Structure 1
Amino acid sequence: MKPRGVDARMKPLLVLISLLVLLAGLASLWTLGSRGPESMPTPSLDALLDLDLDLGAEGFAEVVEDRPLRFPEDHGAHPEYRGELWNLFGQLTDAEGGRYAFQLGITRLGLAANPPPRASAWAANAVYRGRLTLVRADEPGVRSAERLTRAASGLAGADVQPMSVWIEDWFLSVSDGEPNRPRMHLVAGGEGPALTLDLIAGKSPLPFADLGLLGGDIGEIGLQAYLLPRMAAVGTLILDSQSRSVEGQVWLDHAWGTLPRSGGQVGLNRFSIQLDQDRELLCLQLRREDGTGTPIPACALILADGQVQSFRRREIRLEPFERWLSPRTGARYPVAWRLGIPILDLELELVPRTRDQEADDAVRLWSGAVQAVGRLGGDAIAGHGRIETTAEVAGPAGI
């Protein structure tokens, strides 16, 4: 039976929107001032994708069916596919109890699958973008730093084994550890915030297909992905020219496959929450951008031992209770939520660390750090994580 409020034409759009949110760092306006010969101009990703014929994009591999993930190889780069994302976010605490939420996205866009030989050292077959955002608890606003560089003359690139991806002086690499419990090293910074972290996976990689969120073959969406939903982090944060020792918990998404174009009439909200007692909750909610119809949620609870419990639409209550209107774009976003799974006796409120966390003017995406408070089975529970939501279309009454 067809889900109420959603016609059959919406399912193909879920393909693009799910990939868009997972690869949110890719679908954005790349804005970075001139940095010398390695700098790119400032085209949008959509503009680059529209150059498919000139760039030879049709030669890239496509994800057409599920395949078992292979580690340590799949921690590294997949240059045969056009797009790839390493996305990390988490919460850090310093020695004085200061709390910080960060997100770092490193994305690769392949320009040509079979480029002709070129003599120039500046000839590039890919571009890399990195964006670091930081929110300090009880302080408004978002700090950020960016990199955008061609894969030329060693300025940016990615290796398969051992895994390493870098953009100028930023890099993420696997240092050692078991293939299913890797240790990684992260360095990212600049004129804004700067991070140096050692990361240790507390759980084995979890294929996105095993979460049961999309209700179908993951290959249908042109995407292969896995999560490392809980990595212990120890390192240094530099903020306002002051160095602080920090520790905390980090979540890593790694995805590769076919890139989407932004747009369409369907929105998606994604909730990635690290809870007490080594549990993580990942939810997706498909909705119409104009607010009509009935939103369709799906959730997966990852237990301490890595086992997954999946929940579908009728087992979930998910409603926004606060919206935020961007003063820059006029876009409206649902930013605070109540989430309930009655079968678990779970009730959560998800509240943003700060309201103004619009990720990009061009895509109209809100990607924000949130804190979670609530109850599970009658006991208090807390956590932290991120919500990513595409903009709503305001009705005649406005907000």
Structure 2
Amino acid sequence: MGRRWLWLSSTLVLCLVVLVTSHTALLGFQQAVPGYTWQFPADHAAHPAYRTEWWYYTGHLRTTTGKRYGYQLTFFRHRVDSPGVSLNPSQWFADHIYMAHMAITDVSAKRFVYGEKLNRAALGLAGASEQRYHVWNEDWAAERLGGMHYLVGEIPGYKLKLIVTPSKPPVLHGAAQDGLSQKGEGKGHASHYYSFTRLKTEGVLHSSEGPMDVVGESWMDHEFGSSQLTPTQVGWDWFSVQLTNNTELMLYIMRHQDGSVDPHSSGTLIRPDGSSVHLPRAQIHIQAHAQWKSPKSGAVYPQRWTIQIPTLDVTLHLEPVLAEQELVTEHSTRITYWEGSVTVHGTLQGQATEGVGYVELTGYVQRVTL
């Protein structure tokens, strides 16, 4: 009963957010604009002056017996009150709400399982530290200690404990490679955005078969902003690719209600030495060769993509390891989206290559508002 009451209370708070925070600038939220000065590791922590923030991990794991798993673990922070304004000193007052998603793709069993959490900041149920990188939602958590990230999460049938260690420095996305990732036309329709594009991963995955030692590689995104999408944008198609030659690729395509692609869509190619190249929309060509219709939501998602970047002589083919990798998050963000592990093969500057990746597809059921 207590959990149900807390969920209902948080849901009411979430509805209030939609009504109260539609005019971001009037409430004093900072916007993602040029001139931000990054300071690591401090910037791994929370930025409560911005309305919305998330820390996002995906990865590809393998056991000693060769079984393969994909995973996602994401933490969301959404501010309810205006920065600098305290409406109620009570410990029950919620100035933030926190949401989290976790998913496991069991490649061998062709099984996809996910879970979600929603809590208020009150009473320590969930939170994100401003002093150091530590974000949690009940018993799920991500924390940085000694340069390593410690991840913990549990959903029905699976419990994950991982240590992920960056193999490359953080990559700042955006046209100026300063971390300002423009999502649409106009001031503030952007996020401050960086990634760890390759993290050495080790830990334990518990399942019905018992504990299994796992190793692999992960990807981490961290974004914060206050009014990222324009009124005509409905969602995005986002791609992350990790190739065996130590090259990575991030692309996002912002979609409008009329089906057109926003010219601010872009990407980043990360070289083996950690240096990066910004990719404007004109250099990115993405074609889907199939579709999958969800039996749960009825959404039709594109599948099986070819990515071409002619200026860099890149052609990559992406294939989902499983079609059914959809999350219907009715009890947290209330966004239905497809987030799936993919295999990759193709050519890079005339050389055959292969790898793994993750694809995120939003706005195919309802418009995303950020």
Which of the five TM-score ranges fits, normalised by the shorter chain?
0.7 to 0.9
Question: Is the aligned partner of 1:201 residue 2:166?
Answer: yes
The residue that corresponds to 2:291 in the other structure is 323
The residue that corresponds to 1:94 in the other structure is 63
Q: How many pairs are equivalent?
A: 355
Given that residues 236 and 363 in structure 2 are in contact (C-alpha distance below 8 angstroms), is that contact kept between their aligned partners in structure 1?
no
Given that residues 38 and 122 in structure 1 are in contact (C-alpha distance below 8 angstroms), is that contact kept between their aligned partners in structure 2?
no
Where structure 1 has 5 or more consecutive residues not aligned to the other structure, the ranges are 1-32, 177-181, 394-399
Per-residue deviation, 1:371: 1.0
User: TM-score with structure 2 length normalisation?
Assistant: 0.84
Question: Is the aligned partner of 1:142 residue 2:112?
Answer: yes
Given that residues 212 and 310 in structure 1 are in contact (C-alpha distance below 8 angstroms), is that contact kept between their aligned partners in structure 2?
no
Question: Is the aligned partner of 1:369 residue 2:341?
Answer: yes
The residue that corresponds to 2:121 in the other structure is 151
Question: Is the aligned partner of 1:105 residue 2:55?
Answer: no
The residue that corresponds to 2:137 in the other structure is 167
Per-residue deviation, 1:252: 0.7
User: TM-score with structure 1 length normalisation?
Assistant: 0.79
The residue that corresponds to 2:368 in the other structure is none
Specify the code of the residue in structure 2 equivalent to 1:168.
E
**Cα distance, 1:263–1:205 mapped onto 2, change above 3 Å:** same
Q: Deviations over 1:248-285 (max 9, x none)?
A: 11111111121567974555321111111221111123
**Cα distance, 1:382–1:51 mapped onto 2, change above 3 Å:** same
Q: Residue 74 of structure 2 aligns to a residue in which SS? A: strand
Specify the code of the residue in structure 2 equivalent to 1:152.
A
Given that residues 185 and 199 in structure 1 are in contact (C-alpha distance below 8 angstroms), is that contact kept between their aligned partners in structure 2?
yes
Question: Is the aligned partner of 1:279 residue 2:247?
Answer: yes
How do residues 111-260 of structure 1 correspond to structure 2 at under 5 angstroms?
A: 111-113=80-82, 114-119=85-90, 121-176=91-146, 182-209=147-174, 210=177, 214=182, 220-240=188-208, 242-259=210-227
**Aligned partners of 2:46 and 2:71: how far apart in 1?**
23
The residue that corresponds to 1:387 in the other structure is 359
Where structure 2 has 5 or more consecutive residues not aligned to the other structure, the ranges are 366-370
Q: Residue 47 of structure 1 aligns to a residue in which SS? A: helix
Per-residue deviation, 1:327: 1.8
The residue that corresponds to 2:323 in the other structure is 355
Q: Would you tell me which structure has more strand in proportion to its own residues? A: 2
Specify the code of the residue in structure 1 equivalent to 2:106.
R
**Aligned partners of 2:180 and 2:39: how far apart in 1?**
20
CA RMSD across the alignment? 3.2
What fraction of aligned residue pairs are identical, expressed as a percent? 31
The more displaced of 242-251 and 56-65 is 56-65
Given that residues 65 and 220 in structure 1 are in contact (C-alpha distance below 8 angstroms), is that contact kept between their aligned partners in structure 2?
no
**Aligned partners of 1:275 and 1:54: how far apart in 2?**
41
Q: Deviations over 1:275-319 (max 9, x none)?
A: 112211111234455556899864421001111123344444321
Given that residues 84 and 107 in structure 1 are in contact (C-alpha distance below 8 angstroms), is that contact kept between their aligned partners in structure 2?
yes
**Aligned partners of 1:333 and 1:202: how far apart in 2?**
33
How do residues 295-310 of structure 1 correspond to structure 2 at under 5 angstroms?
A: 298-310=266-278
Given that residues 61 and 80 in structure 1 are in contact (C-alpha distance below 8 angstroms), is that contact kept between their aligned partners in structure 2?
yes
**Aligned partners of 1:138 and 1:390: how far apart in 2?**
26
**Aligned partners of 1:53 and 1:378: how far apart in 2?**
50
Per-residue deviation, 1:42: 6.8
Specify the code of the residue in structure 1 equivalent to 2:153.
A
**Cα distance, 1:300–1:81 mapped onto 2, change above 3 Å:** closer
**Cα distance, 1:263–1:162 mapped onto 2, change above 3 Å:** same
**Cα distance, 1:292–1:124 mapped onto 2, change above 3 Å:** closer
